Chains A and B, each alone.
Chain A
Amino acid sequence: MHELSILEGMIQGIQEEARTQGFHRVLQVRLEVGRLAGADVEALRFAFEAASQDTLAEGALLEIIELPGKGVCRTCGHEVEIEQRFDLCPACGVGFVSVTGGTELRIKDIDVEGEG
């Protein structure tokens, strides 16, 4: 459940932003989460609810944009999309895939309310 400590850190970051950017409430948070980022979407939702409690982000909408896993086949060289790290190359069916994308775990933007 490392999702909780990651989102607690995110809420801290948002609180710092609130001080410098002058907002007092967060209405929506948009995250980008790669399929191979090692973070579970449902766990992130649960963790967000827990971490935002009694903060300026309590009750905010959490939108999670899922990004596909990407890689290059070590055997046939094709660029492919994969669901899991251990997927064999869907193009040739035998090659191991080196991951090139889908490990993102980012806060994209937040919608806020307040003078600023």
Chain B
Amino acid sequence: MCTTCGCGGTGATLDGHAHPNAQEPARIGRRRVSLEQNLLAKNNALAALNRQLCAARGWFMLNLVSSPGSGKTTLLEQTIQRLKDDVWVAVIEGDQQTSQDADRIKAAGAPAVQINTGKGCHLDAHLVGHALEVLNPPDGAVVMIENVGNLVCPAAFDLGEDHKVVILSVTEGEDKPLKYPDMFAASDLMLLNKVDLLPHLRYDVSRCLAFARRVNPDIQILQVSAQNGDGLDAWIGWIEARRAALQKA
């Protein structure tokens, strides 16, 4: 190819117009640049900043992840009801579109900021950092992030949370932990939701729990129903214990 204008290479010739490098294209200083960077380094750095900010303000931050329809928003409403007399609760809502979830959270009595990710399939540390600026709850608050309903992509993105909590409902398959292992491996707690429906389903709870522990032997598991309140005291107890441990540390 002609290095002057890019023409040539087809065998056509023109008197007086030479293609000196027609056989071997000129390589202007090909060289190797070593980078050795984690592709998530930028997100991880911003997550570390979020974590520092949370530590400085005494905020306890949870990242709630699940597939769509697992009952995250209902669970959040019930959690706010039970916590709000003792502690300030604020919510960051992630959805591709609409502010319906943030509206439900506000109606339940907690300040909420909605992030619409548009085409994005997950929240990242950058978006959450700005959401924290907007929310700016008082020191010692509990901040709950409701991630985009998706059991794949949010697993890779640290938001600066204290814990990831994965919510799985019994109307989904027992083998979800095996199908989406990264999310269950990244989470410290699994809430098995909608257990009030178990009498109507053929669902082997022990099989599901065994699968979850196979992917993550350290995962803690609570069985809950956001609908009728079963198990929610244990969930609130888990939040209070983890929050207390953090304040002592």
Residues of A in contact with B (beta carbons under 8 Å apart)? 1-2, 5-7, 9-10, 13, 17, 21, 23, 27, 31, 36-39, 74, 84-86, 88, 96, 98-99, 104-116
Contacts and interface: CB of A to CB of B under 8 A. Distances in A.
Nearest to A33: B39
State the 9 A-B residue pairs at the shortest beta-carbon distance, nearest first. Answer: A2-B153, A85-B181, A38-B182, A109-B34, A96-B217, A105-B39, A107-B35, A86-B214, A86-B215
A112 B39 CA distance: 19
Contact of A17 (B35, B36, B40, B181): B35
Given A2-B122, A115-B28, A21 B33 contact: yes
| Chain B interface residue number, banded | 35 or more
14 contacts: A2-B153, A17-B35, A105-B40, A105-B156, A106-B39, A109-B34, A109-B35, A109-B36, A111-B31, A112-B31, A113-B29, A113-B31, A115-B28, A116-B29
Contact of B124 (A5, A7, A84, A111): A5
Contacts of B182: 36, 38, 85
Contacts of B28: 113-115
B207 interface: no
A86 B211 contact: yes
Interface string B107-149: 0000000000000111010000000000000000000000000
Interface in B190-242: 211, 213-215, 217
Nearest to A17: B33
B242 to A, nearest CB: 22
A105 B185 CA distance: 17
Q: Residue among B34, B156, B182, B214 with the most chain A CB within 10 A?
A: B156
Contacts of B153: 1-2
B211 A2 contact: no
Interface of B: 27-40, 42-43, 120-122, 124, 152-153, 155-157, 177-178, 181-182, 185, 211, 213-215, 217
Contacts of B157: 2
Contacts of A23: 31, 33
Contacts of A13: 35, 37, 42
A88 B178 CA distance: 12
Contacts of B34: 108-109
A2 B147 CA distance: 14
A106 B39 CA distance: 5
Contacts of B32: 109-112
A98 B37 contact: no
A8 to B, nearest CB: 11
Given A110-B33, A112-B31, 20 more contacts: A1-B153, A2-B121, A5-B120, A5-B124, A13-B35, A21-B33, A23-B31, A74-B217, A84-B181, A85-B185, A86-B177, A86-B178, A88-B214, A98-B217, A104-B38, A107-B37, A110-B35, A111-B31, A112-B30, A116-B31
Contacts of A21: 33
